[in-house]
Every structure is written in structure tokens, then in C-alpha cells.
Amino acid sequence: MPSRGLHYPGSYAELRAWFPDDEACIDYLDWLRWPTGPVCPRCGRSASAVTTAGRVWRCGGCKKRVSRTAGTIFHDTRVPLTVWFAAAWFVTSQKDGASALGLQRVLGLGSYQTAWTMLHRYRTAMVRPGRELLGGRVEVDETFFGGEEPGVPGRGALGKTLVAIAVELHEPRGYGRARMSIIPNAEAQSLRSFLLSTVEPTSTVVTDGWGAYPRACADSFVHEPHPISGSGHKAHELLSAVHRVASLSKRWLLSTHQGGVGADHLQAYLNEFCFRFNRRRSRARGLLFYRLLQYAAGAVPVTYRQLVAHPRPKAVMPPGLKGPRSRPASLAQPPEDRPWRAARSLE
């Protein structure tokens, strides 16, 4: 188990002390990817001799040059790694994460686009490949995300995004991990696909009385229905876990992101919510920072155009973007000797 002070910093002050420059950041990524030393992807031998300003490993056998950020979300980034690490700290150390606008302001980024892209790159790393399925007794239900729209209330609503939620139930009380996924409809086939990708076979699936669930569970799960109609109870009383998760996620989107999340990118935000919710009992916020960097160091890099739902070339280049683009300022700045005193002397 990673420990504070050895594998991850415990505070923002320690973060700045651990990672004062980009070389320290990239060495941390090396350690996360290759604890016993880098390995050449071509011949499998250990790489040696860092070249090109510390950004490239050269294989000692076949002489292949290997970028130290290749195969990570930081590959070919123009943003200094000190800024990336600070962004990861703000995302994981705060209870509600950070919005792109808030990140742009606190890190002094030149554009909203840069902050938005950084956050979405991190979100692509928040779902670990091959993660364990939920098990035991699992509560499952669906909910809609989106504002008020005309149409039939409930599952017949129009213009909203349907999301399936699964939450582990602990005995005698309490909740475990959660999963949230956009589904096209509430029919048996869609619900079954969600269950098979989320819940361990033979687990008990606790649902309401929706008629599609018996067919969705079929012979893969033990179905435990709790029909709302005629029970004398409200839905949030019989299925408290999924309603709690749905309420918290919607409140988070409204507060941190002002509700400005479209259906095209909603899944990425749901992944971030589950990443933080499933680690809510972590003994230190720095452990979340460690996990995020660990996953980011092995995630497939994505470009801005791959992240944007409907990329379109700009008809006219915005003013100020002509010529080579400037890099965001690194946090590795030399100390200044009391600039407020100098400012006073100039008045």
C-alpha cells in the first residue's frame, strides 16, 4: 500500500517541494511506469543515457530513442509538467474537484481551452482498464440528467440523457463502490449490457419493479425486486443508495460546473464523479493524486480534436493566435525578493 511521504506528497507545500521543476515531474512518471528502470519497447532491454534535454531515453541495446512521456496523457503536451501536477492536485484534493474556468484562473493558463483539455485528459485516465466488477448485493436503477423538458415524466422524458447507476450495498449498512454509465434506453437489452459490464455474475441485483429487469438479470444474476407502487414507500426509501449517488452527482454538476455539461461529454464527468466517490474514505487526499498520476502514466494519449465532440475548423482565426503559440508558464519560477517592497518604492 502506498504511504504518505514515500509515494505521494501530503500537502500542497509538499507537492511544490517534491516537484519544483519538470525534471522532477518526469522522473516521478518514470518511477510510476518503470519502478525497476525503463524498458525498451522494441527489444525489451533496459534503456540508458538520457538525451534531448532529459525528455528521451536511449536504449542501450538497439539504440532506439524512446520519449519519456510516450504512452501517457502528457505526450506532446505544450503545458509544463509542473502545471499538470498542480492541476492533478487541485482535482483530487478538493471535495468537488475543479472546473476548467477555476483551473484556468488558479494556474494562470492562457485559455479556457487549455484547462478544459487538461481536465478531460485526466478524466480519460480515471477509468482503470480491467477494474474489478461490483459484487455482493448491488442496487441498480436509472435516472435522467438534464433540465426540464416537455414530454411524459419519468422514463418517457424527452431531450434528456438516461444514466444507469449501480451501487454496492454493505451489511448491515453503508455503501461501497459505484458505477454510472449512459444507456440508450431502459429496455432489457440495454440494462443487461450495463449489468454484465458492471456487476459480477451471480451477484444479487436489487431494483425497483420495472418490468425489464427480470429479463435483464435472466440467469446471470439473482434478482431482488422492490416495487414502488403499492409499497407505501417512496423510491428513495426503497432504493436509497442509487438515489443518494444520483443526487450527489447532479448537485456536483450544478455547483462545480454550473450545470453546463452536454450529453456528448457527460460520461467523462460521471467517470470523474465515480473516481472520487469510490475513494471517499481514502486516508489522505494525496493518495488520490498518486492514483490519478499512476493511471495517467499508462493511459493512451488523446488530442484536443479527439476530445471535442463535434470539432469544426474555425472560419476566421481569432485575433492574437497568429504565429507560433506561446507555452503556458511553468511553476518552476525563481524566487523574487519581496516585490511588494519594490512596488512601494516606485509609487
Helices (H), the chain: 12-18, 22-33, 81-93, 100-107, 112-124, 188-198, 213-217, 235-238, 240-256, 266-277, 285-296, 304-307, 339-346
d(CA 182, CA 216): 16
In total, the chain counts a number of residues equal to 347
- Are 154 and 266 part of one and the same domain? yes
d(CA 186, CA 210): 9
Answer yes or no: is 164 within a domain.
Answer: yes
- Are 113 and 158 part of one and the same domain? no
Do the beta carbons of residue 165 and residue 199 sit within 8 Å? Answer: no
Q: Which domain holds residue 79?
A: 12-124
d(CA 168, CA 61): 49
Looking only at the bridges linking them, the beta strands covering 161-169 and 175-182 are: antiparallel
Sheet holding 161-169, edge to edge: 175-182, 161-169, 137-145, 204-207, 222-225
Residue that is last in its domain, among 277, 309, 328: 277
d(CA 128, CA 130): 6
Q: What is the CATH number of the domain that holds 226?
A: 3.30.420.10
pLDDT score, position 320: 47
Q: Output DSSP code: residue 75.
A: T
- Are 98 and 152 part of one and the same domain? no
d(CA 136, CA 148): 35
Phi, psi (degrees; rounded to nearest 5) at 271: -65, -40
Residue that is last in its domain, among 83, 100, 124: 124
- Are 105 and 163 part of one and the same domain? no
- Are 158 and 115 part of one and the same domain? no
pLDDT score, position 279: 94
Answer yes or no: is 224 within a domain.
Answer: yes
pLDDT score, position 48: 66
Q: Output DSSP code: residue 156.
A: G
pLDDT score, position 52: 46
pLDDT at 337 exceeding the cut of 70: yes
Residue that is last in its domain, among 96, 124, 152: 124
Return the amino acid letter for 152. Answer: V
pLDDT score, position 59: 80
pLDDT at 156 exceeding the cut of 60: no
pTM greater than the 0.95 cutoff: no
Do the beta carbons of residue 141 and residue 208 sit within 8 Å? Answer: yes
Looking only at the bridges linking them, the beta strands covering 137-145 and 161-169 are: antiparallel
Average pLDDT, the chain: 88
pLDDT digits (tens, 9 = 90+) for 211-226: 999 999 999 999 999 9
d(CA 144, CA 130): 27
pLDDT at 324 exceeding the cut of 70: no
| Arithmetic mean of pLDDT, 45-52 | 62
Cell numbers at residue 66, please? 524512446
**Domains in the chain: how many in total?**
2
Answer yes or no: is 286 within a domain.
Answer: no
Phi, psi (degrees; rounded to nearest 5) at 312: -135, 135
